[in-house]
Structures are given as structure tokens and as C-alpha cells.
């Protein structure tokens, strides 16, 4: 049986992914799996220039949890994880029970379904919309580059 270091919990009607155990900085949290698509959709994560991964459902609950529950990862303006390709990596130490998040602007060039951020970060401008890297200002883009996917950095390098 495959065990994962995270679990899904529901809080005020919102599903989120919590650390099931303490996760060290730099630790691989999950390699996401799913159906590939050439276009972004509401629940896809961009893993390459024209590569978007959509979580699919599995009949096997253990496989579902370890491979596909990543779809409940929420956006955060100061996240504790980031993506390198399909690998979700801990950006800092994540204590047990803490929500695991990543910055959607670091994976998505242009989101299919932009939304108003409701994360609790002090520097999160109230009412700002998360719509992808291309919608960020130059300073915001620069600050985010280190944790961005390769395809975002490649486009950014071209200017
Ligand atoms: Zn925010």
C-alpha cells in the first residue's frame, strides 16, 4: 500500500491538504499524476509549456490519496511548497497538521479560472486576483522566479 505524507481535510466547506507528518525543507512531498492536457482548465497544474495535468479519480482509495488528492492543494501568496515539473517539494519545514500550499502564479502562465485570493498572508493585497504569472507586475515576477516552473522561467528569460 502506498502511503502519502499528506491528507485531505475539510474546513468551512473548503478542502485542503494537510501534512500527515512533519516534512523537512527540500523533501519531495508528491509526484503528481493525472491526465495530460494541452490547455489549462480549472483544476489543472501546468507542468510544461503546453502540458497541464488534470487530477483524475481512482477506484482504489489508497491510490486516490497518494496520486490524485493533490488537486485540493490551495494557492497561497507565501506558500510552503513549490513545483519542479511534477514534483511538489517543501520550500520550508512543514509541521504536522499544517496546510500544504503552493503559489499558483509559479506554475500557471495564464489561468483558465482566475480567482480572488483569500489566503491569510499579511502581504496578500486584499481582493487581488490570482490569474497566472503573466498577469503579475515586473517586481512580483522577479520575486517569484526562484520557485517558478521551468517553462515560466524560459518564457520570462525571453522577455
Ligand atoms: Zn494571497
| Residues 6+ positions from 56 with CB-CB distance below 8 Å | 34, 35, 68
Q: Is residue 70 part of a domain?
A: yes
Q: Is residue 1 part of a domain?
A: no
30 pLDDT more than 60:
yes
CA–CA separation, 116 and 138 (whole Å):
20
pLDDT for the residue numbered 3:
64
**HSE value, Cβ hemisphere, 13 Å, CA-based, for 113:** 6
Cα 11 to ligand 1 centre (Å): 18
* Cα(139) to centroid(ligand 1), Å: 16
- pLDDT tens, residue by residue, 101-143: 999 999 999 999 999 998 988 888 788 899 999 999 999 999 9
43-95 pLDDT per residue, tens: 899 999 999 999 887 778 777 777 788 999 999 999 999 999 999 999 999 99
Look up the CATH number of the domain holding residue 125: 2.170.270.10
Predicted confidence (pLDDT) at residue 2 exceeds the cutoff of 70: no
> What is the Å distance from ligand 1's center to 119 Cα?
4
Question: Where in the sequence is the domain holding 132, given as residue range(s)?
Answer: 6-158
Q: What's the number of domains the chain is made of?
A: 1
Amino acid at each position: 500500500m502506498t502511503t502519502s505524507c499528506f491528507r485531505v481535510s475539510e474546513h468551512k466547506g473548503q478542502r485542503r491538504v494537510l501534512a500527515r507528518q512533519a516534512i523537512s525543507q527540500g523533501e519531495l512531498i508528491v509526484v503528481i499524476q493525472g491526465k495530460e492536457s494541452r490547455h489549462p482548465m480549472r483544476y489543472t497544474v501546468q507542468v510544461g509549456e503546453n502540458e497541464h495535468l488534470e487530477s483524475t479519480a481512482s477506484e482504489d482509495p489508497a491510490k486516490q490519496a497518494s496520486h490524485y488528492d493533490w488537486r485540493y492543494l490551495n494557492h497561497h501568496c507565501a506558500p510552503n511548497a513549490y513545483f519542479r515539473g511534477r514534483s511538489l517539494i517543501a520550500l520550508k519545514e512543514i509541521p504536522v497538521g499544517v496546510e500544504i500550499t503552493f503559489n499558483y502564479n509559479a506554475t500557471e502562465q495564464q489561468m483558465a479560472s482566475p480567482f480572488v485570493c483569500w489566503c491569510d498572508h499579511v502581504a496578500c493585497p486584499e481582493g487581488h486576483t490570482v490569474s497566472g504569472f503573466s498577469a503579475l507586475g515586473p517586481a512580483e515576477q522577479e520575486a517569484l522566479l526562484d520557485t517558478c516552473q521551468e517553462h515560466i522561467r524560459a518564457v520570462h528569460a525571453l522577455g
